[in-house]
Chains A and B, each alone.
Chain A
C-alpha cells in the first residue's frame, strides 16, 4: 500500500500521460529512437523526486517503443528497427481496409507484452540477470548465428534471394574498423571509418524506398475502399485466440531484452518466426495475419522490461536506453544494483508499479487514438509521398547532424526500391547488417580468448543455441519445401 501512495498525485498522472504522448510521437518519427526520447527527458527529471523522474522516463520509453508501430502499420515505415517486423502484417492489414483493427491489436499486444516483462522484472530479475551475464563472446556469436538462420525462414518462397540480401548485409557490415585491430577497411570516405550507421540504412531501405513506391501508386489515397471502425469485441477476441502466441512472444521479447546488446529488432524477428512456425495459418503471414502482428508488437514492448533487468539488478546497461536510464538513476543519487531493492525499495517498487500503470495509459491512448491515426490513410497521396521522403531526409540527418547520413540513406533507399521490385528481401539485408558486426566482434573475441580454437562452441549455452539454430533451419527448409508457392 505504501508503494501505491505516490500515485495519489494527479500531477504525476498528467506528467505520465504527457510523457507517453511525447514518446508515441517520437517513436513514430523515423530516425528518432526511444533512446532520443529518454535522453531528451533526463535533464527535465533532475529537479523531480526519484519516483516521479523514473516513472516519467519509463513512460516515454514505453510510448516510444509503441509509437514506431503506428507508421509501420499505416505507411509501411518502421519508426525504428524494432518495428520492421510490424510492417510485415500490419501494413497489408491496413491497406486491406482494417487499419483500426491493426492499430488496436498493436496497442493491446504491446500493453500485454510490456506488462508481462515488468512482472518478470519484479519477480525474477536477479536470477535472470545472472544467467544473462554468463553470456560471453562465444554465446553472442551463437546468438548471431541463430539470428541468421531466421533469414532462411523469412525468405520462404525465394530463399536464394533472401540469402543474397543477407550476405550483402554482412558485406556492408564489414565497412569501418576491424573490431580487434582497429585498422580501417573498406571505408572509402573518412565518415565511413566508424562503420555504416544502422538508422540511415533502415530509413533508406524502408522509408525512402516506400516514398518512391508511393509515387507510383495510382490511388488518390492509401485507404483502399474505405476504413472500417475498430470493434473492441473482435480485437479482444483476436487477442484471446492468440493467448499462447502472446505469451510466447512476450517471453521471447523479455529474454532477448535481458541479453545485453541483442535489441528490439532481434526480439521481434525471433518472435515472428516462432509464431509462424507454430501457426496453423502460415499462408496468411505477410498478408495481414493478426498472429504475426501480435507476435511482433508483444515482443517489442516486452523488450522494455527485459532490458531493465540487468540494469536494475546488476547495474549493467544492456542497450542505449538503459545506459541513458542509468544516467537518470545516478542523477537522482540512487545506487545501482541489489541495493536498489533493499535500501531503496520505496523508490524502485513504485517505479516498477509505475511502469505497469504506464502500459495501461498506453492501452488507453492507443485505443483512443486509433480512429485519428487511421485517418492518415485518407490523406491525399500527393502529399504523403513527398512528406515521407522529407521525413526520411530529416530523420537520417538528425542521427549525427550531417549530410553524409542523408546520402547513405538515399543510396539504401534506391537499393531498397530496386530490391523490392525484384523480389529481394530488405529485411534480410538489415538482419545481415545488424548481426554481421555482432557475429564478427564476438567471433574474434572468442577466438582470442580460446587462443584460436573453436572449442568455445562446446559450452552448454552455445550448444543449446546452436541446437536451436539447426532445428530452426531444418524446420524452415521443411516448410519451404512443402510450400506450393515457392519460387526457387
Chain B
C-alpha cells in the first residue's frame, strides 16, 4: 500500500518538476531548445502515466501487501548522524568526527562491547586517513585541530 502511495507522491513531484522546467525554459535565450522541450514533455507524460498506473493498482487493490516500506527509527537515526558528521567535518576536522561517527553507528546497529567498537572505529578511520591523505594526497579539512599534527 505504502509503495503505491509513494508512487503517487513521486509522480506528482515529477509533474511539478516538468511544469517548472517548461516555465523556466521559456526564459532561456534560445527559446527553441529542442532537447529541453523533449525532456519536459517526457517528464509530464511519464509522470501522468505513472500516476494513472499507481491509482489503477490502488483502486483494483493489485498491490503486494508484503511490499510495505516504512522508515525505521534506526535508519532515521543513522541518516541524521551521517548528515551531522558531514556538517561537522568542516569545523572539527576529519579524524575526530569520523571516529565518533563510526563508533556511534556501530553501537546503534548492534550494541556490543563498547571498548572493542571504539578501538575498531579508530583503526578503520586511521586506515582510511592514511590511504587517502598520505598515499593519495587528498587533503581533508583540519578544522579547529589544524595546529595539532596528530589530527592532520
Tell me the A residues contacting B by CB distance below 8 Å: 25-26, 29, 32, 36, 40, 160-161, 163-164, 167-168, 170-171, 174, 178, 180-181, 183, 185-186, 208, 212, 215-216, 220, 380-383, 385-387, 389-391, 393-394, 397-398, 401, 403, 406-407, 410, 414, 418, 421-424, 436, 439-440, 443-444, 447, 488
Contact = CB atoms under 8 A, between A and B. Distances in A.
Given A185-B25, A403-B90, A389 B82 contact: yes
A36 B98 CA distance: 24
A160 B49 contact: yes
A181 B128 CA distance: 43
Contact of B69 (A380, A422, A440): A422
B47 A164 contact: yes
A170 B38 CA distance: 10
Given A385-B78, A390-B98, 7 more contacts: A163-B46, A183-B28, A215-B108, A220-B110, A382-B107, A386-B101, A394-B128
Contacts of B108: 215
A184 to B, nearest CB: 10
A391 B128 contact: yes
Interface residues of B, number: 62
Interface string B97-135: 010011001111110100001001100110010011000
6 contacts: A164-B47, A167-B43, A178-B30, A212-B79, A215-B108, A421-B69
B148 interface: no
Nearest to B32: A452
Contacts of A387: 102, 124, 128
Contacts of B42: 167, 170
Most buried by A among B78, B82, B139: B82
Nearest to A419: B10
B148 to A, nearest CB: 20
B144 interface: no
Contact of B110 (A32, A40, A380): A380
A171 B43 contact: yes
Given A167-B46, A410-B82, A422-B6, A443 B34 contact: yes
Given A163-B46, A216-B72, A385 B109 contact: yes
Nearest to B35: A440
Interface of B: 3, 6-7, 10-11, 14, 17-18, 21, 24-25, 28-30, 33-36, 39-40, 42-43, 46-47, 49-50, 53, 69, 72, 74-75, 78-79, 82-83, 85-86, 89-90, 98, 101-102, 105-110, 112, 117, 120-121, 124-125, 128, 131-132, 136-140
Contact of A390 (B6, B101, B137, B139): B101
B26 to A, nearest CB: 12
B35 A212 contact: no
A220 B112 CA distance: 12
B61 to A, nearest CB: 15
Contact of A398 (B30, B75, B132): B132
A447 B34 contact: yes
A216 B128 CA distance: 24
Contact of A443 (B35, B85, B139): B35
A171 B17 contact: yes
Nearest to A26: B136
Contacts of A444: 33, 35
A420 to B, nearest CB: 10
Given A186-B21, A414-B79, A386 B105 contact: yes
B24 A40 contact: no
B51 to A, nearest CB: 10
Considering the complex of A and B, which 7 residue pairs feature the smallest CB-CB distances, nearest first? A386-B105, A382-B109, A382-B106, A440-B35, A382-B110, A421-B69, A398-B138
Contact of A386 (B29, B40, B86, B106): B106
B116 to A, nearest CB: 10
Contacts of A216: 72, 74-75
A118 B85 CA distance: 45
Contacts of A185: 24-25, 28, 36
A316 B132 CA distance: 31
A214 to B, nearest CB: 8
Most buried by B among A208, A381, A382: A382
A36 B136 contact: yes
A422 B3 contact: yes
Contacts of B53: 160, 488
B7 to A, nearest CB: 7
A383 B86 CA distance: 18
A390 B18 CA distance: 34
Contacts of B14: 164, 167-168
A391 B85 CA distance: 13
A403 B89 contact: yes
A393 to B, nearest CB: 6
Given A181-B29, A185-B24, A440-B35, A389 B49 contact: no
Nearest to B137: A40
Contact of B74 (A40, A215, A389): A215
Contacts of B33: 178, 444
Given A171-B43, A406-B86, A215 B109 contact: yes
B109 A423 contact: no
Contacts of A167: 14, 39, 42-43, 46
